[in-house]
Amino acid sequence: MQLSKTDILLLEQVAKGNKSIKSLALALNVKERRIYVIVNNLTEKGFIKRINGTLEGKEALHIKLFLEVLTTYPNLAPAISESGIPILTALLKVSTIEEISQETGFKKTTIYTKLGEARKRSIVRKTQTSYRLNDKIWAKLIDFLMELNKYESRTDVRIPASSTIYYKKNNEIIFASKEETDAEKTAFSAYEKYGIKLLTVKNYYYLPKKSLTKEEVLRHSLYIVEKDKDIRNLIFIALFYAKFKNEFKIKHEILMNISAVLAKGTVKGYPSYQEIKDRAEVYGIEV
């Protein structure tokens, strides 16, 4: 979630009870038509709603916590605007600059700038090469970040509400849905392109929409199995991996275990060699 400084200042005013377009324009010293633009943006992002001409925060817990933070701690906008919230969310676990960059996709210069603003307010502490959130002073902010992280891990405005999210990072998302969706089919739903047609009760998708490589399709399959270790899914991965294993350079514990099974070994929680072999024969795959 990213918000501009103006977004945050407007939400701060709403949290303080300043809820009409006219009064917000006066408080922020901008024209009313500009307030309408900001309000529409925040409405689309799910932060506020309009009731009888006044603005109210949405009922979602992370929104309530955020508005409470804004009324409790003044002048937060420089630290949490734009890339600030994603960077602070990455610090829910102690992280280095490199780890924050990998998690968020932001450049190190951007991260240093935001962490500088956060450190001015004692939101963040540095220990050697790592950074951590200051839970002694900023407990309410951390509560918001934790709840936001939970919310964003299970929802996304780009996908059907009934979808299951398996992976989400930066603008990438891998999800499953029973509904036909304008997204790129991936994981088990993409195996048909490579001669392995599977019958699944739901489709697996990737956004943003683009052409995917075999290695990306396999990696997306692994993300799914990390959260749903269904034996059938492990067999599907084993088939795809066995057919194209000389083309893959992915190192992953699941693939190591599948390789052990394909070598006629036994791994607890994994299908047997015979189970994989029986399904492989259907598709003409040698194991």
Domains located in the chain, CATH noted? 5-133 (1.10.10.10), 164-282 (no CATH)
Q: What end-to-end distance do the CA atoms of the chain give, in Å? A: 45
- CA-nearest of 173, 285, 255 to 220 is 173
pLDDT band at 155 (very low <50, low <70, confident <90, very high): confident
For the chain, the farthest-separated pair of C-alpha atoms sits apart, in whole angstroms, at 74
Question: Is residue 114 helix, strand or coil?
Answer: helix
- The dihedral over CA atoms of 204, 210, 214, 219, expressed in degrees to the nearest 10, equals -60
Provide the whole-model pTM.
0.70
| Cα–Cα distance measured from residue 220 to residue 243, given in angstroms and rounded to the nearest whole number | 17
| Cα–Cα distance measured from residue 190 to residue 271, given in angstroms and rounded to the nearest whole number | 22
pLDDT in tens, 233-261: 999 999 999 999 888 988 999 999 999 99
Where do the DSSP E strands lie in the chain?
48-51, 54-57, 95-96, 124-127, 130-133, 164-169, 172-177, 184-185, 203-207
pLDDT band at 154 (very low <50, low <70, confident <90, very high): confident
| Cα–Cα distance measured from residue 235 to residue 109, given in angstroms and rounded to the nearest whole number | 44
